[in-house]
Chain A
Amino acid sequence: MTTLSNHVPDPRLITAFAEQRDGPLHRVNPWTKVGVVGALVLAVTVLDRLALLAGLYGAVLVVYGLARLPYRRLAGWYTLPALFIVSVAGPLAFLEPGTPVGGALSTPLGDLSVTWAGLVLFAELSCRSLAVVTFVLTASMTTKYADVAYVLGRLLPRPVDQIALLTYRFTFVMLEILEDLVKAALSRGGNLSEFWSNKRLYARILGMTMLSAIEQSERLVTSMEARGYDGDITLYGDVSRPPVHELLVVIGSYVATVGYAAVAVYGVGS
Chain B
Amino acid sequence: MAHIHLGEGSFPLWALVLWTLLGVGLIGAVVYRVRKGGIETHQIALAGVGAAASFAIFQLNIPVWGGIHMNLTGLVGILAGPLLGVLIALVVNVFSAALGHGAVGLLGANTLVNASEAIVAYYAFRTLMRTDWDVFPAGAGAATLGLSAGAFLMGAIIVVSGVNGSALPRGDLTIAVAGLVGLNLGVAVIEGILTGFVVRFLASVRPDLVGLAGRDTREEPTGVTA
List the interface of chain A (C-beta within 8 A of B).
Answer: 1, 4-5, 8-11, 14, 37, 41, 44-48, 53, 77, 80-81, 83-85, 87-89, 91-92, 95-98, 117, 120-121, 124-126, 128-134, 136-137, 140, 152, 156-160, 162-171, 173-175, 177-178, 181-182, 184-185, 190, 192-196, 199-214, 216-218, 220-221, 224-225, 229, 231, 261
Contact = CB atoms under 8 A, between A and B. Distances in A.
6 nearest A-B residue pairs (beta carbon) = A129-B7, A166-B48, A128-B9, A203-B197, A44-B9, A213-B53
Contacts, number: 302
B157 interface: no
Chain A contact residues: over half helix, strand or loop, or mixed?
helix
A124 B193 CA distance: 38
10 contacts: A41-B8, A45-B11, A84-B7, A88-B176, A125-B164, A173-B52, A194-B63, A207-B197, A217-B42, A221-B45
A117 B194 contact: no
Nearest to A189: B224
Contacts of A205: 60, 226
A77 B57 CA distance: 17
Q: Is the interface of B mostly helix, strand, loop or mixed?
A: helix
Contact of B46 (A9, A192, A217): A217
Nearest to A178: B56
Nearest to B169: A97
B160 interface: no
A170 B79 contact: no
B147 to A, nearest CB: 15
B94 interface: yes
